[in-house]
Chain A
């Protein structure tokens, strides 16, 4: 038995201290587990706005009505919204951008977000959106329509409330909440996984395989992406972009942007409905039938903040499905949005 114990110790020691002949592969190297951002890949379309280099592109006639697509998260990316690109063929200028710290845009440390203080939401997100609009707007008369989904819808609402005269149309798809308490309630409801569920297990079990410091964005973004792969509660099935997909597949979560934003929210309790009562233009408010966390009662409650609105229930799709499912987009959502814009 003593010999056996010696063998065990030898084996364990060898596994700990021996080196491999393979070329070392690092989990924190950009491009290995997550795609490179615009900071490492100069071939990606990018703009510089508000002190950050953002992954961004636009389609359609440069002087026509701008439709600014605002992705969810915080910490998501615009890839799943690319079905909206078809609006460019209908004569609109469609703009996509990954928010600071999200998607393929430049990363910032958590301390940077926290250092923005009590006015953080304004400095980080509203100023950025203002910069994006300014970058793509070619004349003062060019109309601007915001199209936001989930967190993007909250951001679009907050921005419109702050600058009601600068926005000509507002399309919001399932903003989780507009007042902070509602945001917290929605997040809890949409992530109320059962204790023994595979989803919860998938979220927690990975922590013993991979750990990362707060400045190791590649690691943290990768883990965040694994957690966010599937959420049956909100009824999402994964994006179907059809021919609207770009030639490369590169989607990336922004873990720090997400965590920092949520912490800032807890600290500052932002109200994204502030000022929206002065936006008298009709808002198109969309919610889905397959999102169990967003029943009609919740849609009624959240939409009550908009003084003039049209409520549309997207049948047969989930939280992102009204935009990321190409068939639904083509047959239902795009015609609805065009009709809305033409009604303004």
Chain B
């Protein structure tokens, strides 16, 4: 049960530290005087979503790290039935003049519910971003992979009475899904505020199939303090 112990710890951390977002970050204007990053966003990612997050800057000389997490939820008339939490870190790995390369590693917990089933999943998100960063603006490309590692299914009475009475509830592994994504991101930065935009395409892990909504996009605002 090591998986679930570690997952439990992740969730505990995410709740008690109320962390940040997998947000586009301007690596060109980070400062030790503004170690806190509050982030809000709206966008499209497997549905229309709204999110809120927080990051804390760990100023490790050449390898600054933003640690934090985000919470997002899609549209719909049942606001609490679906959500996603990410918790992890973004680290700048290399910098050459204004060109910088960063990596993001996050643990994900997410929930989905409809008339048939409640699904809870733990996953991971790895991404690399290469961009050109100035103090007041930046542009970058990102490539990432979102893996649904282990998933719990609990089917409703309706499902069992109307669709399949012998459905097997419980934890499903190995991984139940995975999607690659790639796209562009950019932003404009003022003194303590960044306006960011990112958009790209999502492809299933077989490199052929697409999700029903095969793209993502996000409009965000960062507040540094």
Contacts and interface: CB of A to CB of B under 8 A. Distances in A.
B46 A208 contact: yes
A251 B165 CA distance: 9
B174 A24 contact: yes
B47 A205 contact: yes
A203 interface: yes
Interface string B13-50: 10000000000000000000000000000000011100
Interface string A3-36: 0110011011011101111101111000111110
A98 to B, nearest CB: 14
Given A14-B2, A251-B164, 7 more contacts: A20-B2, A196-B76, A209-B110, A209-B119, A225-B163, A229-B163, A230-B114
Most buried by A among B5, B172, B204: B172
- Please tell me the size bucket of the interface on A: 35 or more
Given A201-B74, A210-B177, A12 B106 contact: yes
A20 B171 CA distance: 10
A210 B175 CA distance: 9
Interface string A275-318: 00000000000000000000000000000000000000000000
Given A1-B58, A18-B2, A201 B82 contact: yes
Contacts of B209: 211-214
Contact of B179 (A195, A208, A239): A208
B62 interface: no
28 contacts: A8-B87, A11-B6, A11-B107, A12-B107, A15-B7, A20-B3, A21-B1, A31-B166, A196-B48, A197-B76, A198-B78, A201-B76, A207-B46, A207-B211, A208-B110, A208-B148, A209-B119, A209-B121, A210-B151, A210-B176, A211-B209, A213-B206, A214-B206, A226-B117, A229-B115, A239-B162, A251-B162, A252-B163
A195 B165 contact: no
B47 A8 contact: no
Contacts of A35: 164, 166
Interface of B: 1-7, 9-10, 13, 46-48, 56, 58, 60, 65, 67, 74-78, 82, 84, 87-89, 105-107, 110, 112, 114-117, 119, 121-124, 146, 148-151, 153, 158-168, 170-174, 176-179, 204-206, 208-209, 211-213
Shortest Cβ-Cβ A-B pairs, 10 listed: A207-B211, A196-B75, A18-B2, A198-B76, A14-B6, A211-B177, A249-B165, A201-B76, A202-B114, A15-B6
B106 A211 contact: no
Contacts of A25: 168, 170-173
A22 B65 CA distance: 36
A27 B175 CA distance: 9
Interface string A246-258: 0011111000000
Contact of B163 (A9, A24, A206, A249): A249
A208 B74 CA distance: 13
A242 to B, nearest CB: 13
A243 interface: no
Interface string A201-244: 11111111111111000000000011001100000001100000
Nearest to B116: A229
A11 B106 CA distance: 10
Nearest to B164: A35
A44 to B, nearest CB: 13
A5 B65 contact: yes
Contact of A207 (B150, B163, B166, B212): B212
A277 to B, nearest CB: 39
Contacts of B211: 204, 207-208, 211
Nearest to A249: B165
A37 to B, nearest CB: 12
Interface in A31-74: 31-35
Contacts of B87: 8
Contact of A201 (B47, B110, B148, B164): B47
A209 B146 CA distance: 10
A202 B153 contact: no
B200 to A, nearest CB: 15
A203 B121 contact: no
A8 B13 contact: yes
Contact of A11 (B13, B75, B149, B206): B13
Interface in A133-184: none
Contacts of A208: 46, 84, 110, 121, 123, 146, 148, 177, 179, 211
A12 B2 contact: no
B67 A5 contact: yes
Contact of A26 (B124, B161, B172): B172
B15 to A, nearest CB: 14
A200 interface: yes
B164 A205 contact: no
Given A207-B212, A226-B117, A27 B176 contact: yes
Contacts of A16: 124, 149
